Amino acid sequence: PGTTFPPINFINLLLVDDRDGDGLRDLVIVQSGGLDARRLAARFHWVSSSSGTLLRTGYAPDGKECYSLPLFEARPEATSRFYIGTGGESLSGNLIKVGYPSLEEEWRVRAIGGGFIGSPLLTDLDFDGTDEVLAAGMDGSVYRVDADSGDVAWRWRDRPYWTYVSPAVGSFNGDETLDVVAGFNRGVWPRRDEARLDWLDGATGTLLSEHVFDEPGRATASSPLV
């Protein structure tokens, strides 16, 4: 059977744990945006991958839009988790961790301005057994956040930058902590006069290096691949 959804944008879908007991992983479909001036909260629809049946609908905990693909962390021995970036180009937003399937908020980190459109990244930068969440925002910032507590280890910011893409990790300065590279556009959205990459020290968030692409007016539209 088919499932009818509200007439707002489909943003993305992702595979999650089996929720209807048929032995197949199910889907979460993200809906947000559209023409409604009220800027409705993003909806998260759980759908059976085998039948198309709508199992459940949840909403962004902060009542905001969501244009990024949520990050799903499957944990067989514990509660699985979602990491959601909300907000938009000009609308404020948050990086939010919610339990799955409860959808109860566990923590949130507020962006300084604008929201998160590039999807968050989950990694263990310092190999201590505790994951960190990395996210780059429309406020020109990169955030390193403790995945368990929501504590912000560092935030690097340079203005006026903005980005639609996710950061990546690699070893760039030779120490024992992985580092971060992020793509940005310089300007105040929707204007941009250059596209650039910035390499950041994973331990401290300080700038290691930068590269400005030669052609002016270009935009960074894809995430770095390391």
- The size of the chain, in residues, is 226
The pLDDT assigned to 7 comes to: 80
CA pair distance 113, 120, nearest whole angstrom: 17
Please tell me the distance from the alpha carbon of residue 171 to that of residue 82, in angstroms, as a whole number. Answer: 27
Q: Is omega for the bond preceding 7 within 30 degrees of 0, making it cis? A: no
Torsion angle (degrees, nearest 10) of CA 190, 140, 199, 123 = -110
- Sign of the torsion formed by the C-alpha atoms of 107, 47, 79 and 14: negative
State residue 2's pLDDT score: 62
Question: Quick one: residue 33, left, alpha or beta (phi over 0 = left, psi -120 to 50 = alpha)?
Answer: left
How much is the pLDDT for 125? 98
| CA dihedral angle for residue 159, residue 170, residue 125, residue 141, rounded to 10 degrees | 10
Closest CA to 190 of 133, 117, 83, 121: 117
Q: Could you say which DSSP state residue 93 is in?
A: -
CB atoms within 10 A of CB 44: 24
Q: What is the CATH number of domain 118-226?
A: 2.40.10.480
Which residues, in sequence order, are CB contacts of 210 under 8 Å at separation 6+?
A: 196, 197, 198, 199
One digit per residue, the tens of pLDDT, for the chain of length 226 reads: 566 777 889 988 899 988 899 999 999 999 998 888 888 899 999 999 999 999 999 999 999 999 999 999 987 766 789 999 999 988 899 999 998 878 889 999 999 888 999 999 999 999 999 999 999 999 999 999 999 999 999 999 987 899 999 999 999 999 999 999 999 998 888 888 889 999 999 999 999 999 998 777 778 888 999 9
Give the tokens for residue 80. 């699985």
Q: Residue 1: its pLDDT value, please?
A: 54
Say how far apart CA 138 and CA 121 lie, in whole Å.
16
Domain boundaries, the chain: 118-226
Which residues, including other chains, have CB under 8 Å from residue 76's CB and lie 6 or more apart?
none
Rounded to whole angstroms, the Cα distance separating 181 from 84 reads 20
pLDDT of residue 96: 98
**Does the predicted model carry a pTM greater than 0.85?**
yes
Cβ neighbors of 105 (< 8 A, separation 6 or more) are 61, 96, 97, 98
The pLDDT assigned to 39 comes to 86
What is the per-residue pLDDT for 106?
96
pLDDT at 221: 81
